[in-house]
Amino acid sequence: MEILVTYDVATETPEGKRRLHKVAKVCEAFGQRVQKSVFECTLDAAGLEKLKHRLEKIIKESEDSLRFYRLPEPREKHVQVMGRQLAYDLHHPLVT
């Protein structure tokens, strides 16, 4: 399934800046960054639960916010990009 992960981490403190970095690193392991705090991930149900569990251990629920959106498939039919498109197609090889 195609999942859009967005986050907003409070960075007013050094601890918050560390959390932001950790959240980004976890998301990078599961998908690709398409905007500063937005990742597109192709996951199965177990992968989604693993991602949520890892992020849940990092964030501070009283200050931070995570959102997970399931994108209808095929994604290309439902997602429009205006301006620079930084993402690559996860379903096609990068090198041919």
- Is residue 50 situated within a structural domain? yes
The pLDDT value given to residue 94? 46
| Whether the predicted pLDDT of 89 surpasses 60 | no
- Is residue 88 situated within a structural domain? no
- Is residue 87 situated within a structural domain? no
Look at the chain and report how many structural domains it folds into: 1
CATH number, domain at 38?
3.30.70.240
| Whether the predicted pLDDT of 93 surpasses 60 | no
- Is residue 36 situated within a structural domain? yes
List, in sequence order, the alpha helices (H) in the chain. Answer: 14-30, 45-56, 75-78
| Whether the predicted pLDDT of 95 surpasses 60 | no
Range of the domain at 57: 2-72
d(CA 43, CA 81): 22
**Digit-coded pLDDT (tens) for 10-59:** 999 999 999 999 999 999 999 999 989 999 999 999 999 999 999 999 99
Nearest to 36 by CA among 24, 19, 50, 53: 24
Structure tokens at 94: 């990068």
- Is residue 77 situated within a structural domain? no
| Geometric angle at alpha carbon 50, from 3 and 60, rounded to 5° | 90
- Is residue 45 situated within a structural domain? yes
- Is residue 86 situated within a structural domain? no
Nearest to 3 by CA among 34, 28, 39: 39
Q: What is the mean pLDDT of residues 63-72?
A: 93
What predicted TM-score, i.e. pTM, was given to this entire model? 0.80
The pLDDT value given to residue 85? 67
